[in-house]
Structures are given as C-alpha cells and as structure tokens.
Structure 1
Amino acid sequence: MLNVAMLSKWHVHADGYAKHLQSLENANITAVWDENNERGSAWAKELGAGFESDLDALLRREDVDAVVVDAPTSMHADVMIAAANAGKHIFTEKAMALTVAECDLISAAVRQAGVKFCISFPARTRPHHLFAKQLLDEGQLGEITLLRIRNGHDGALRNWLPDYWYEEKLAGGGAMMDLGCHPMYLASWLLGQPKRITSMFSHFTGRAVEDNAQCSIEFANNAVALLETSLVTYRTPSAFELYGTEGTLIVSGDSVQVASKNADSPLQGWISPYRLPEAQPLPLTQWVNGVLNDVPMPFGLEDGTKLTELLETAYIAHRERRTVEFKQPGGCK
C-alpha cells in the first residue's frame, strides 16, 4: 500500500487525482497540505485525511511515502525539492517548473534522494498518439516534415476556470502553460531536439495571462510543429496531424485515418485502421505501481525538463517578439 499526501488543491486536476487514488486498491491518501489553509483543511476532511498547515511537518510524517504535487506552478521547485529531501516519491502535475534552471535543481534533489519521480503526460498514454509513435518508429510515414496539434476549450470564454488560474505570479502563464503543455510534450516525444521557436500569444478576454496561443517550432531533423491552444474556443475538437515524405496521419476526435506508400495494404488512398494500440494506464496509476514495484517511471525528469525548456523558450519568444534558437543539446539562448 502506498500512503500518499496531496500537496495543494490549487490545480484544477487535483480533485480528479485524489478520486483516482481513492479508486486504487494499492494507494491511500493519508494527509493534505495546501498553501491556502482554509481550502486545504476542508479538502482533508472531505478525503478523510489529516491536514498539515506546515509543509515540513507533513513531510516528516511516517504515514506519508509519496506526494502528489498540485501546488501553483511557481511553487513546484520549492515543494518538490523539499519532498525529495524528505525521501518522498513525487508525482507532479505539468508543468514541472517554470524554468529549466528550476528543473535542474529538482532533478538533482530527486537523484540525490533516490526517490521516484513522474510527471503527468496523459496524452502519451492514448491509443491514437501511441499509433502515431508506432508509425513514426516503423518508418511508415517516411521522414516527418510537419506536425500540427490543436488543443482548446472555452474555460476563459465561459468563466468556468477559477479566477486564480489567470494570476501570472502563481501560474506562470496562461493557455500555453496549461493546455499547451500537451501539444508541447507530444511534439518533443515525436520530433526530438528543438532548433528554434516563434510564438504568438493574445489576450482575447483581457486577462493578465494569454488565453489564445500558438507556437511554431523547427526541430533538428528539419520537421516543423504547429502547436495551437486556447481557452476561448467553443466546443473545440482536438486535432492531430502528422505529415511525412511517405505518408500522413490525421486524427480528429475519434476518427483516425492514415495514408502511406509503405503501408502493408492493397488499398489505395486513406485507410482507417481497424485496431489501434491499447491505451496505457494513466500516469498516476503507472506512478503508484512503479513506486510499489520499483520499476522505472514512464515520464521522468528528462521528459519534464524538455517540456519546461519548450515552454520557457516559447514565452521568451513571445515577450521579445523574435525567433529564439535552442542550444544543442538543451537550454535556450
């Protein structure tokens, strides 16, 4: 049994993570800490867990083996370093941190402590994205030339996100720092080392952080990714398009179509695959199982750092209104 503490209810996914842990037979929520004492105390009662207003006191508890971090993104580095130093395994909501420098500090603490670390990359567990990686690895699409991903909803337009979601000091950014994480880490996973990036962020609802955003990224293999995200689009169907010199994959909602010169099929034109890879367990489930069974984490420190590298550089490109080049490998100029 893995005894887990929930570190803040700030993130909109925090309650969902708690409910998921409660549904597992091998996990138990024993304690809660929150930077907002009133919110945390009420949540602890709801979960039937103890509440600690002092993070260090929580991390000293013997009934806490691991922590789920849903604190404001700006607090991630301090919270996770403290958890690692206390010998607690860590699951964190994306983004890992606001800067690569902070990610490096977290990584050093985790490695020094020898604890398990996992970041929530749910899009990498889904069948159509696993299918894209399979096609890419098998060479069915040839050399990749273009990736386009759209991910959006109307949270800012219809005001169903909490007001603090738009506080730059806490969140570190808006649409790209939130929903934009998914296209970003998918692009990194599929295309490898980024080469240069441009960004265009806008403030449709007039809030402090962007609610509509897109980034264009060129990778070292000369592929280009067009990543679009928004908090102001109504009923936005997700879109995933992967183009190569030998084939194309188009995913729209539940519809998947592929065309490849190398496909093992007598059919010409578009093919709808009759079977996709099975969905992998959610990252939180994989983390719990990984800690208990001492197996490698699916989405670790390097993955989290690569995402932050893309995000940090995207915001630099937006603020400075220029194309920003990446150092090879890693880091930004």
Structure 2
Amino acid sequence: MINVALLSKWHVHADDYAHQAKQNENITIKVVWDEIAERGNEWAQKLRVPFEKDLVKVLEDPEIDAVIIDAPTNLHKEIIILAAKHKKHIFTEKVLAITYGDCENIFSVIKENGVKLMVSLPRLTENYYLYAQDVLDKGLLGKLTSIRCRLSHNGAVPYEGHPNGWLPKHFFNKEVCGGGALIDLGAHPIYLTNRLAGSAKAVTARLQKTLGYDVDDNAVVIVEYESGVLGTLETGFLSNGSPFQLELYGTEGTLLIEDQNIRLKSKKLGEGWKVPEQLPEPLAMPLNQWVSDILENTKPTLDENDFLTLTLINQAASLSNEQGRRIEIAQLTTASVEV
C-alpha cells in the first residue's frame, strides 16, 4: 500500500487525480497540504483526511510514501526537490518545470535519492496515439514529413458572471503559471508530436494575448525536428467546439484523427480511405503506471525524455515569441550545461 499526500489543489485537474488515487486499490490518501490554507482545509474535509499547513511536516512524516503535486507551476521545482530529498515518490501535473535547467536540477535530485517520478501526460496512453505510432512503425505513411496537432477549448471566453471564462483566474497569472494556453493545454500537442517526430531542432512561435490577459490565450508553434518533420502545434483558450485533431502526413500516406474519427490513406493499402476496424488497447494511465513502478519496478511507458522535451519546446516557444525569431534548441541545452 502507498500512503499519499496531496500537495495543493491549485490545478484544475487536482480533483481528477484525487479520484484516480481513490480508485486505485494500492493508494491511500493520508493528508492534504495547500499553499492556501483555506482551500486545502476545505478539500481535506471533502476527502475526510487531515489538513496540514506545514509542508515540511508532511514530508517528514515517515508514514507518507509519495506525493501527488498540483501546485502552481512556479513552485514545482521547489516542492519536487524537497519531496525527493525526503525520499518521497512524486506524481505531478504537467509541466515538470518552467525551464530546461530546472528540469535537469530536478532529475539530478530524483536520481540521487532513488525515487520514482511521473508527470501526467495522459494522451501518450490513448488508443489513437498508439494507433498513430503503429501506423508509423509499419511504414504505412512512408517518410513522415509533417504533423499538425490542435487542442483548444473556450476556457478563457467571458460569459455572464465569469469575466475570465470557466478557467480559474490564477491560470492567467504569468509569474505563477509560467505561461498561458501553450504551457497548459498546449502541452498535449507538444508531447504527442515530440514522441511521433523525434528530437527537436528549432522552434518558431507566436503566442497571442487576444483578450488582453497577461498570458497567451491563442498560440501556434512550428517545430523543426532533426528527422526533417515539420510540426505545427495549435492551442488556445478561445475556441468553442474545436475538435482535437492529430494529422500525420508522409510520402506514402496520410493519417487523420479528429476526436474519435480516424481514417488512413496509404499507397500500401490500396485506393481510398481506410477506417481501422479496431484500435489498440489503451495503456494504463500515468498515475497507475507510477504506482506499478513504485510497487513492482515496472518500467513506465512515459519517461524522462517526454518530460524534459515538453519543457524544452515551451521554453523555446516563449523565447521565440518574445524575441521574434527562430530559436535553435541547442541554444537552450548548451546554455544549461554552461551554467
């Protein structure tokens, strides 16, 4: 059995992870901590567990084996490193940290203390991603040349009584979040495309503040990959009814995924579009993979490279937007080594 502390209810998915934890027979939620005591106390009462306002006390408790972190993004590095130094296994909402250098510091402490780290990148466990990967691996698209991935919602569109839309107001605080639509919702197109296309070479991005927030609410990122693939990533908080789209284009075929509608055209399969009769079975969700890793040392399908490159593309996109130019990935990784 894994005794878990929930660290903060800041992120909108905190309740989801608490629910997943309660559904997992190998997890017991023992305590809640929150940087805002009132919010944490209310959550703890709802979950019928104690609230502890002192984070160090939580981490010093020998009964606590692991933590689930939904704290503000700018607190991730501090909290994760502190938890690792107290030998607690760590599950955290994306992104791992705001900069590549911070991620490297985190990985160093994680390895030094021998704890298990998992970042929630759930779409890498979904059947459509597994199908796309299988299509690529079988060569049905020939040489992959382009990927377009879009995920947007209307979370920042104002409506009566909600001037910031249905997202919490703190999601528009750049200092706390590290960014806006791209760093949060755009994480999914980034990590999916990274996994399918390989190592990134350069990034060009435009992060719009359409409604005048402190952070981007509409973004497009072009990623050049070492493989020659061009990735076009789109995200935003201003789209009503926008479907999830993942499109792969190659010299021998095309794969189009729009929500649950999937079709494939490949020279190797004859004329016309093919609809898959059956999709692969989804993998275990990241939280459940993390539990299996802790208890059975089962290697997760999500790894350090997925976590690191997500932050890398975000940081490069932010710089590209600020400086109005194309950013070479090597600029960020080399600068980190020099520091």
TM range (shorter): over 0.9
Q: SS where residue 4 of structure 1 aligns?
A: strand
Quote the Cα distance in structure 2 between the aligned partners of 1:143 and 1:74. Answer: 39
2:236 is the counterpart of 1:230? yes
Amino acid at match of 1:223: V
Deviation at 1:63, TM superposition (A): 2.1
CA contact (8 A) 2:100 2:333 kept: no
Q: SS where residue 51 of structure 1 aligns?
A: coil
CA offsets 1:109-161 (integer angstroms, 9 cap, x no match): 10001111111111111111111111111211111100000100000014101
Q: SS where residue 209 of structure 1 aligns?
A: coil
User: Equivalent residues in 2 for 1:175-324 (5 A)?
Assistant: 175-263=181-269, 267-324=270-327
Deviation at 1:192, TM superposition (A): 0.9
Q: Once superposed, what is the RMSD of the aligned Cα atoms?
A: 1.4
CA offsets 1:228-279 (integer angstroms, 9 cap, x no match): 001000011111100011111001111100011223xxx4111001011111
Amino acid at match of 2:171: W
Quote the Cα distance in structure 1 between the aligned partners of 2:117 and 2:18. Answer: 18
Q: Looking at secondary structure, tell me which structure has more helix per residue.
A: 2
Q: SS where residue 327 of structure 1 aligns?
A: helix
CA contact (8 A) 1:175 1:229 kept: yes
Q: How many residues are paired up? A: 330
CA contact (8 A) 2:3 2:63 kept: yes
CA offsets 1:12-51 (integer angstroms, 9 cap, x no match): 0001110111112111100111111111111111112222
CA contact (8 A) 1:309 1:332 kept: no
Deviation at 1:104, TM superposition (A): 0.6
Quote the Cα distance in structure 2 between the aligned partners of 1:238 and 1:302. Answer: 24
Quote the Cα distance in structure 2 between the aligned partners of 1:332 and 1:166. Answer: 29
Amino acid at match of 1:12: V
Quote the Cα distance in structure 2 between the aligned partners of 1:31 and 1:331. Answer: 41
Quote the Cα distance in structure 1 between the aligned partners of 2:237 and 2:203. Answer: 22
User: Equivalent residues in 2 for 1:1-333 (5 A)?
Assistant: 1-158=1-158, 159-263=165-269, 267-327=270-330, 330=333
Quote the Cα distance in structure 2 between the aligned partners of 1:256 and 1:138. Answer: 17
Deviation at 1:296, TM superposition (A): 1.9
Quote the Cα distance in structure 2 between the aligned partners of 1:250 and 1:328. Answer: 34
Deviation at 1:294, TM superposition (A): 1.8
Deviation at 1:289, TM superposition (A): 2.0
CA contact (8 A) 1:22 1:29 kept: yes
Bigger drift between 133-142 and 208-217 goes to 133-142
Quote the Cα distance in structure 1 between the aligned partners of 2:8 and 2:138. Answer: 42
User: Which runs of 5 or more structure 2 residues have no equivalent in the other structure?
Assistant: 159-164
CA offsets 1:179-236 (integer angstroms, 9 cap, x no match): 1000101111111111111111111221110100010111111110000001000011
Quote the Cα distance in structure 2 between the aligned partners of 1:185 and 1:282. Answer: 15
Q: SS where residue 314 of structure 1 aligns?
A: helix
Inter-CA distance 303–200: structure 2 relative to 1 (3 Å threshold): same
Q: SS where residue 145 of structure 1 aligns?
A: strand
Inter-CA distance 305–141: structure 2 relative to 1 (3 Å threshold): same
CA offsets 1:272-318 (integer angstroms, 9 cap, x no match): 01011111121111111221112223323232111101110010000
Deviation at 1:331, TM superposition (A): 5.3
Quote the Cα distance in structure 1 between the aligned partners of 2:70 and 2:20. Answer: 14
Inter-CA distance 329–136: structure 2 relative to 1 (3 Å threshold): farther
CA contact (8 A) 2:124 2:302 kept: no
Quote the Cα distance in structure 2 between the aligned partners of 1:331 and 1:251. Answer: 36
Quote the Cα distance in structure 2 between the aligned partners of 1:100 and 1:13. Answer: 24
TM, length-normalised to structure 2 = 0.94
Quote the Cα distance in structure 1 between the aligned partners of 2:228 and 2:176. Answer: 35
CA contact (8 A) 1:6 1:69 kept: yes
Amino acid at match of 1:197: V
CA contact (8 A) 1:149 1:227 kept: yes
